[in-house]
Amino acid sequence: MTPAGTVGAAAQVLLVGAGSPLLVGVMRQVRARMEGRAGAGVWQPWRDLRKLLRKEAIAPDGTGPLFRLAPLVLAGTALVVAAVVPIATTASPLDGSADLFAVTALLALGTVALALGGLDTATAFGGMGASREMVVLALVEPTILMSVFALSARVGSTDLGAIVTSTLHRPELVASPASLLAAVALAVVVIAETGRLPVDNPSTHLELTMIHEAMVLEYAGPDLALVEWASAMRLTVLLGLFANLFAPWGIAGASLVMLPVAVVVFTVKVALLGGALAAGEVFMAKLRMFRVPELLAGSFVLAVLAVAASFFLV
């Protein structure tokens, strides 16, 4: 454990916690401007969170402690993941104990907790949203594991920090077939996992078409604020992980001096990725629900090919 690592991990949590609503704001603003609308401004998600936090906490009749607990678990896992993954530093003190599998499991734990919270309401929408989210999760998790596994094979470690460091030392690996295939597969699952088009439409008001939003329909006030905040953090972390797996330049190692630079570089990277994702969404429509598994199965195939390529084509 180095002081730079500890400070870096703390900086990561702060950056993700404070910056993720801004990322959502930037993405909405990009989309609004590209559609010819004025948009609400990048601070709107923070204003929404402030509004929600001032409301009283309320739970529907008949729900148990699970309903109130789920947003806490979701936000907690997102914060832990933010501390672990190589966002600004590869030397996080938790890095050794939390590798690729732990990160994937933590993300899944948050999703499952929220799905249980949705089921706890015993409403049709909670159940419907939970069942759809589980379908997506079941198809997404293996792909995340496989595609990152393709990258870890050449390093000989599932430690995310080690994978990123090795890419820093051998930048030509980014253009290898394994890496490119894994990038495409991971991009698809990041979109699915964060509930963006064409898998889910984050801006719809049509309750029957929702996946993620249907699950959290009964949440209100501070609980909803937690869910929204955690969703924004997951989006940020996944985009950040994606950026650093394939373009790790600028990340700080054990050096304290590099840390501010790394924070700025990371912010730029994630803002660019988020902006590109939002811009791409403008030209996309939502897939028919039954086509979503086809898309995710396709990404899984790419991930498998990436693993095969990492063994045979290096």
Contact string (CB under 8 A) for another protein, positions 42-81, x = contact: ----------------------------------------
At its nearest, how many Å lie between another protein and the CB of residue 135?
Answer: 10
Buried b (16+ CB within 10 A) or exposed e, 158-189: bbbbbbbbbbbeeeebbebbbbebbbebbbbb
Q: If binding is defined by CB under 8 A, does position 204 make contact with another protein? A: yes
**How far is residue 140 CA from its own chain's centroid?**
12
Alpha-carbon distance of 23 to 275, in angstroms, equals: 9
Residues 289 to 308: which contact another protein by CB under 8 A?
289-291
Of 27-35, 177-185, 227-235, 246-254, the window that binds another protein (rule: CB under 8 A) is: 27-35
**Nearer Cβ to another protein, position 268 or 282?**
282
**How far is residue 13 CA from its own chain's centroid?**
14
Q: If binding is defined by CB under 8 A, does position 203 make contact with another protein? A: yes
**Nearer Cβ to another protein, position 125 or 242?**
125
Least Cα distance to 47 among 26, 30, 71, 25 occurs for: 25
Q: If binding is defined by CB under 8 A, does position 287 make contact with another protein? A: yes
**Binds another protein (CB under 8 A): choice among 35, 56, 61, 172:** 35
For the chain, what is the largest distance between any 2 Cα atoms, rounded to a whole number of angstroms?
Answer: 58
**Nearer Cβ to another protein, position 35 or 61?**
35
Alpha-carbon distance of 314 to 289, in angstroms, equals: 38
At its nearest, how many Å lie between another protein and the CB of residue 285?
Answer: 4
